[in-house]
């Protein structure tokens, strides 16, 4: 019989190895899934992981990695701080949408004025929109003890309706011949989040994501607030004993993750997407949850995980067009990754041991 | 706008239909939470139930087989949650999210060839005389059988929890798993059974949406019903009859806003469509003051050390 | 020679890194009260878990009335007539008394019949209990009655009691002993686990002494001195803490009219608590667990805030201040629960040193942490308090209970507090470590710190405190000088017998 035995302390080696093992297991079982779907598993996995980086058209796909990875990393960094403290914001998708609406709204309010201050104002507005949306669950949790998981999630659906409403109404392009959707911000210079170096994929969102990684690293490892965040997650009573104000921590973690998600939405709408439209959001807010866990809630880990997840997005699209792999298969693939990660995480805290049969 | 077009009898009857998926999922989750486990994967299990039930009814032509398949589908998915939380001792919140994300993707994959297909109809029951009574007949006695299954399940869960030894043990495990273990009860085994039951119920709820309420298959068609079911358990203070009441309340709101949309009320469609979610939040706020009835071990991982 | 009820032969059980029981053998006779004596960590719990079917021995056998006995699970043990009253009650707060009892029975009768039987048994043994009350609302003594009645309803042949008196007032202990004596008279054997020597001398017929997992001797307690038993138990002569006569300074901590609701549902509210502690004084606060100890510590540490004037430090109102500000002023505390409250289990000792040490030890600069200084503070605690660990980078949960307790107390003591409040400073700690913790507290007081020591161990309180008060249902009795207090007086301060009555024999 196999028994689990709690380690006296978490294993460092396993905490690094788990994500790698999870990725390998996902490749194996993902390959199996692709085989069931009638695709050559080796070819499919190869297409997803190899093609975007080293394939014939890598020069086109590599910048895309930054474009897809940046919002994931930005959102996941925010989420990871809350997750570490046991504060579960799972409504990043909604905050992302609100950031985009606020950011685009602020920019379009100036249309057609050309001025250097418009884009900074949009950045602030985007962060504010996401922050505001996250403050609803934060405030309700602090004031009434309402479950933030459910509230933040419900607000995703509300935000989606808001998005529909503004794309058909408030922000609709007056010159759009009646089609839903806003003016294209890409063709409004003062509001355009253009590539900083043409063809590199590097835009302000990528820069912000990198800054967020560094900020989060310093916060968690060098600052009292980060220590308090970790302490609250590991031992809430000890945190209270140490003098942590739980309410302030909730407001900070939810607020920051909302603002970062809002920024991600704003950079997306003013850059790669360009348009506020009904189907603007593509689930980055949910995928970022996977990224946060895959990165072990560690800033550097999240950076790597964000890259990997972006790879599966792009590789998935290639596999879709070249091999006819269904888009949903990639979604399953990503879900599997989180599943294996959580399962193998056991090895960080427990040893598996064969033992004589025992009533334990 | 013409509010006169809204027929109160039809409104109440359709309210019960709208409430049933919620009720089925919530009753299942209630049992899971009573055993001390928080499974946030309800949405994922529902959507997998929705497609399993849909696919099997289309293939076999039998809605009954479809519902059975849906229950199995939901339970199989919940088995993943079992592996994560009861075997690998993973965090329940994260595992529930994993289940939902995985379930949404998996159902989309399974459902590709079923978009736009019409499922076989289950048909409503018809009891001579009783079903024909004006007002009461259409409201109470002219529904599909699964709707009554939902009500019967509520009664069964209530009676089991309150009067039987199994129910007592289940509550004990959810209240204090260490003490239950010390008395020799198999905490993990009981929790696994509860989680599977919850998965089966969520699967049924999902299939009710795809086979009866809508009835057709679209990706992500549960649209947050699973999450509302989670809120409903809190609303119900972990009491089955209050879950029924809550489900009808939410069902009522959903149906009413749809009716108002159809009647062309001067409120934009989007605002009506977001109203069930906002009302869920409001209800959560009002009820969050009282947490006393929550099972004490809810969400905590159990590992028998010695 | 008659067959003993239960005979243990060469029981051995090893866990990774520790042999909990090593070749333990002894017999328990019919109708005998048998004491199992030993320090924390001596292996008493593992041994009884094997008898109760919770743990399987690696080797060795048990014979029940001459028949091989190897319960696979508690259910099997119960079926063979073994019943157990746990030290930490295995009760369900949200369920009522009858439901709790039903859960501990194999084939419980209908609830209404069960309630009648509960009333009968509780009458007979003098343990009054309402079957329909919610267990979370009961006092510690009443909760123990639930456990005992649960066992008695099974007509056990062997009743195992794990440290039963740690939650009782002296008067309640007397009543419990009456009940146990009655059971013995009826032929029930009792395995009585304790480290309280006087109790064992009064009650038990026979004693087995465990040390480091081994049976190191047996004796007849009534014929053996407490000192001899203690030496068998500890393995060496103990030194009792020294206290130097000292003068008290001005009032450092002044609590007046303090009332706070409990933060937890089944907790105890504090009601109109008054106390003053002078510099250099040790105030001992006794009382049965669950009478407001946690709440008192919480309100003094600043985890629970209250009216500003209710708590004064050197005349300054501090009731509204949080833990960090109070630490800055010099009011330090050490809660009872080591893992999860006083320390974060998965964090390193360095990080745990930071947990309360940041302000007074200057371990942060504008919020930025000084890890090097923090590490040396942790190392200082480890060496000053002889904490056995490979180094400060190890997780708190890897330490044994006693070592972690030394770390936690050391962390506060080394910060030179003006007021130190400790709750259960030596609970679950071996005798040597307990003595050194007590000595550290006394040394601190000698340097002029006002100390409040909350404890359920009356011997400990008598040993180190200058004055004594007791918490009873959230009320604090007026503090009295320790010298000259009798056990009876202490018992009455603790609330007497809590409405218990002597068994109707």
Number of domains comprising chain A: 1
pLDDT at C503: 39
Q: Is C317 helix (H, G, I), strand (E, B) or coil?
A: strand
Residue segments in chain A with a per-residue pLDDT below the cut of 50: 357-360
pLDDT at C505: 37
* Beta-bridge partners for C452: C283, C421
Q: Which of A4, A329, A343 sits opposite B84 (nearest CB)?
A: A343
- Confidence band (pLDDT; 50, 70, 90) for C504? very low
Each domain of chain B, given as residue ranges in start order, spans: 3-117+145-287
pLDDT 10s digits, A221-271: 999 999 999 999 989 999 999 999 999 999 999 999 999 999 999 999 998
What is the set of domains in chain C, with CATH numbers?
6-234 (3.40.50.300), 251-493 (3.40.50.300)
**C432 with C248: CB under 8 angstroms?**
no
Element (H, E) at C32: none
Residue A4 falls within a domain, yes or no? no
- Whether residues B175 and C95 touch (CB distance < 8 A) is answered with yes
DSSP per residue, C370-422 = -HHHHHHHHHHHHHHTT--SS-TTSBGGGS-HHHHHHHHHHHHHTT--SEEEE
> What does the alpha-carbon distance between residue C452 and residue C449 come to, in Å, rounded to a whole number?
10
- Whether residues B183 and C103 touch (CB distance < 8 A) is answered with yes
Residues in CB range of A93: below 8 A, 6 or more apart:
A156, A159, A261, A281, A283, A284, A285, A286
Q: Specify burial of residue B61 (Cβ count, 10 A radius: 0-12, 13-18, 19+).
A: exposed
Q: Does C30 touch chain B (CB under 8 A)?
A: no
> What does the alpha-carbon distance between residue C85 and residue C144 come to, in Å, rounded to a whole number?
8
pLDDT at C242 over 70: no
pLDDT 10s digits, C133-183: 988 888 777 888 888 888 888 888 999 998 888 777 788 888 889 889 988
Residue A248 falls within a domain, yes or no? yes
pLDDT at C42: 80
Compute the radius of gyration of chain C from its Cα atoms.
24
pLDDT 10s digits, B195-233: 999 999 999 999 999 998 888 898 888 888 998 899 888
CATH number, domain containing residue A274: 1.10.3470
What's B3-117+145-287's CATH class? mainly alpha
Residue A331 falls within a domain, yes or no? no
Tell me which of C103, C135, C137, C143 to substitute to probe the interface with B (most B C-beta atoms closer than 10 Å): C103
pLDDT at C498: 52
Residue A156 falls within a domain, yes or no? yes
pLDDT at C216: 87
pLDDT at C224: 86
> What is the average pLDDT score of chain B?
87
Chains in contact with C, where contact requires at least 3 CB pairs less than 8 Å apart: A, B
Of A100-104, C38-42, C236-240, where does mean pLDDT reach its minimum? Answer: C236-240
- Confidence band (pLDDT; 50, 70, 90) for C108? confident
Q: Which of C54, C327, C354 sits opposite A359 (nearest CB)?
A: C54
pLDDT at B5: 63
Chain A hits for B281, Cβ within 8 Å: 136, 140, 146, 150-151, 154-155
> What is the average pLDDT score of chain C?
87
Beta strand C282-286 pairing with C450-454? parallel
CA A130 to chain centre: 13
Parent domain of A258: 38-325
- Confidence band (pLDDT; 50, 70, 90) for C243? low
Chain B hits for A161, Cβ within 8 Å: 270-271, 273-274
pLDDT at C4 over 90: no
pLDDT at C143: 84
Residue A360 falls within a domain, yes or no? no
- Confidence band (pLDDT; 50, 70, 90) for B291? low
pLDDT at C355 over 50: yes
Residues in CB range of C431: below 8 A, 6 or more apart:
C39, C233, C234, C238
pLDDT at B2 over 90: no
pLDDT 10s digits, C389-435: 888 999 998 887 888 999 999 999 999 999 999 999 988 787 788 88
pLDDT at C245: 59
Number of C-beta neighbours around residue C336 at 10 A: 20
Residue A91 falls within a domain, yes or no? yes
Q: Does A8 touch chain C (CB under 8 A)?
A: yes
pLDDT at B50: 94
Residue A31 falls within a domain, yes or no? no
Number of C-beta neighbours around residue B114 at 10 A: 17
Residues in CB range of C440: below 8 A, 6 or more apart:
C385, C409, C410, C413
- Whether residues B227 and A150 touch (CB distance < 8 A) is answered with yes
Chain C hits for B165, Cβ within 8 Å: 102, 108
């Amino acid at each position: 019989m196999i028994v689990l035995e709690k380690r006296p302390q978490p294993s460092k080696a396993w905490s690094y190895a788990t994500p790698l093992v999870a990725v390998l297991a996902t490749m194996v079982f993902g390959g199996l899934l692709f085989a069931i779907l009638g695709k050559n598993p080796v070819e499919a996995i190869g297409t997803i992981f190899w093609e975007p980086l080293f394939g014939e058209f890598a020069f086109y796909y590599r910048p895309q990695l930054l474009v897809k990875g940046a919002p994931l990393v930005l959102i996941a960094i925010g989420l990871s701080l809350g997750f570490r403290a046991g504060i579960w914001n799972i409504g990043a998708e909604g905050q992302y949408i609100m950031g985009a609406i606020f950011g685009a709204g602020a920019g379009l309010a100036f249309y057609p004025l050309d001025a250097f201050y418009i884009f900074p104002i949009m950045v602030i507005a985007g962060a504010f929109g996401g922050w505001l949306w996250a403050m609803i669950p934060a405030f309700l949790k602090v004031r009434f003890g309402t479950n933030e998981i459910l509230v933040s999630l419900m607000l995703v659906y509300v935000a989606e309706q808001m998005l529909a409403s503004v794309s058909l109404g408030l922000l609709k392009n007056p010159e759009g011949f009646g089609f839903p959707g806003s003016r294209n911000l890409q063709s409004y210079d003062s509001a355009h989040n253009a590539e900083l170096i043409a063809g590199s994929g590097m835009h302000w969102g990528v820069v912000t994501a990198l800054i967020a990684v560094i900020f989060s690293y310093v916060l968690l490892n060098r600052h009292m607030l980060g220590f308090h965040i970790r302490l609250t997650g590991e031992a809430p009573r000890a945190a209270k004993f140490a003098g942590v104000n739980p309410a302030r921590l909730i407001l900070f973690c939810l607020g920051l993750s909302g603002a970062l998600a809002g920024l991600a939405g704003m950079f997306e709408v003013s850059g790669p997407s360009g348009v506020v439209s009904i189907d603007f959001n593509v689930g980055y807010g949910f995928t970022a949850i996977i990224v946060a866990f895959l990165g072990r809630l560690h800033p550097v880990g999240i950076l790597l995980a964000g890259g990997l997840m972006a790879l599966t997005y792009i590789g998935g699209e290639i596999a879709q067009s070249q091999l006819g792999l269904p888009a949903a298969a990639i979604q399953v693939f990503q879900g599997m990754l989180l599943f294996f990660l959580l399962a193998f995480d056991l090895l960080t805290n427990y040893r598996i041991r064969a033992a004589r049969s025992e009533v334990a | 706008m013409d509010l006169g077009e809204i027929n109160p009898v039809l409104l109440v009857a359709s309210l019960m239909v709208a409430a049933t998926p919620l009720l089925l999922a919530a009753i299942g989750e209630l049992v899971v939470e009573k055993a001390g486990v928080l499974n946030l994967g309800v949405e994922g299990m529902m959507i997998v139930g929705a497609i399993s039930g849909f696919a099997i009814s289309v293939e076999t032509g039998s809605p009954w087989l479809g519902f059975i398949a849906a229950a199995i589908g939901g339970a199989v998915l919940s088995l993943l949650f079992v592996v994560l939380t009861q075997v690998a001792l993973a965090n329940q919140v994260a595992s529930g999210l994993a289940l939902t994300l995985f379930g949404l993707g998996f159902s989309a994959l399974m459902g590709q060839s079923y978009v736009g297909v019409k499922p076989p109809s289950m048909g409503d029951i018809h009891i001579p005389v009783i079903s024909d009574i004006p007002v009461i007949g259409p409201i109470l006695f002219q529904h599909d059988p699964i709707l009554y299954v939902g009500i019967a399940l509520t009664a069964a869960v209530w009676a089991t929890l309150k009067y039987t030894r199994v129910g007592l043990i289940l509550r004990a495990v959810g209240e204090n798993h260490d003490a239950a273990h010390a008395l020799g009860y198999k905490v993990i085994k009981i929790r696994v059974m509860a989680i599977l039951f919850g998965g089966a119920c969520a699967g049924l709820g999902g299939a009710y949406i795809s086979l009866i309420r809508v009835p057709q298959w679209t990706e992500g068609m549960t649209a947050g019903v699973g999450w509302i079911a989670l809120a409903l358990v809190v609303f119900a203070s972990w009491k089955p009859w209050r879950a029924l009441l809550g489900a009808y309340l939410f069902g009522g709101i959903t149906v009413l806003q749809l009716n108002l949309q159809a009647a062309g009320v001067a409120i934009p469609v989007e605002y009506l469509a977001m109203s069930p979610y906002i009302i869920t939040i409001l209800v959560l706020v009002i009820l969050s003051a009282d947490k006393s009835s929550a099972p004490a071990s809810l969400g905590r991982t159990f590992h028998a050390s010695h | 020679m008659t067959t003993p009820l239960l005979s243990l032969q060469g029981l051995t059980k090893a866990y990774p890194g520790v042999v909990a029981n090593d070749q333990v053998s002894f017999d328990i006779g019919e109708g005998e009260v048998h004491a199992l004596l030993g320090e924390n960590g001596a292996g008493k719990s593992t041994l009884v878990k094997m008898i109760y079917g919770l743990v399987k021995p690696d080797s060795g056998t048990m014979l029940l009335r001459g028949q091989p006995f190897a319960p696979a699970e508690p259910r099997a043990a119960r079926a063979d007539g073994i019943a157990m009253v746990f030290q930490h009650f295995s009760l369900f707060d949200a369920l009522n008394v009858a439901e709790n009892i039903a859960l501990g029975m194999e084939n419980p009768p209908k609830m209404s019949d069960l309630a009648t039987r509960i009333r009968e048994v509780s009458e007979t043994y003098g343990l009054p209990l309402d079957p329909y009350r919610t267990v979370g609302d009961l006092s510690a003594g009443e909760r123990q009655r639930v456990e005992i009645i649960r066992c008695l309803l099974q007509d056990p042949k062997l009743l195992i009691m794990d440290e039963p008196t740690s939650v009782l007032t002296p008067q309640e202990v007397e009543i419990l002993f009456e009940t146990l004596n009655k059971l013995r008279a009826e032929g029930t054997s009792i395995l009585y686990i304790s480290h309280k020597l006087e109790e064992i001398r009064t009650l038990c017929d026979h004693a087995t002494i465990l040390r480091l997992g081994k049976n190191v001797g047996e004796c007849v307690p009534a014929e053996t001195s407490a000192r001899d038993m203690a030496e068998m138990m500890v393995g060496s002569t103990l030194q009792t803490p020294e206290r130097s006569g000292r003068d008290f300074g001005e009032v450092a901590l002044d609590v007046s009219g303090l009332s706070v609701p409990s933060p937890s549902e089944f907790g105890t509210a504090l009601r109109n608590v008054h106390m003053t502690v002078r510099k250099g004084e040790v105030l001992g606060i006794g009382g049965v667990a669950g009478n407001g100890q946690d709440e008192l510590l919480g309100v003094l540490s600043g985890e629970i805030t209250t009216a500003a004037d209710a708590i004064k430090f050197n005349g300054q109102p501090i009731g509204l201040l949080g833990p960090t500000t109070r630490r800055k002023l010099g009011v330090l505390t050490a809660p009872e629960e080591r893992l999860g409250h006083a320390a974060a289990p998965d964090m390193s000792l360095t990080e745990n040193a930071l947990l309360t040490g940041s302000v007074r030890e200057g371990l942060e600069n504008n919020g930025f942490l000084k890890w090097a200084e923090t590490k040396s503070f942790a190392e200082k605690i480890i060496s000053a308090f002889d904490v056995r660990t490979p180094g400060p980078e190890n997780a708190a949960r890897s330490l044994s209970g006693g070592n972690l307790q030394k770390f936690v107390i050391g962390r506060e003591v080394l910060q030179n507090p003006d007021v130190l409040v400790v709750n259960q400073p030596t609970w679950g700690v071996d005798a040597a470590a307990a003595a050194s913790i007590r000595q550290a507290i006394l040394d601190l007081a000698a340097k002029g710190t006002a100390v409040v020591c909350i404890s359920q161990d009356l011997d400990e309180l008598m040993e180190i405190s200058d004055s004594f008060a007791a918490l009873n249902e959230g009320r604090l009795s007026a503090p009295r000088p320790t010298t000259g207090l009798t056990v009876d007086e202490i018992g009455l301060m603790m609330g007497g017998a809590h409405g218990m009555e002597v068994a109707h024999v």
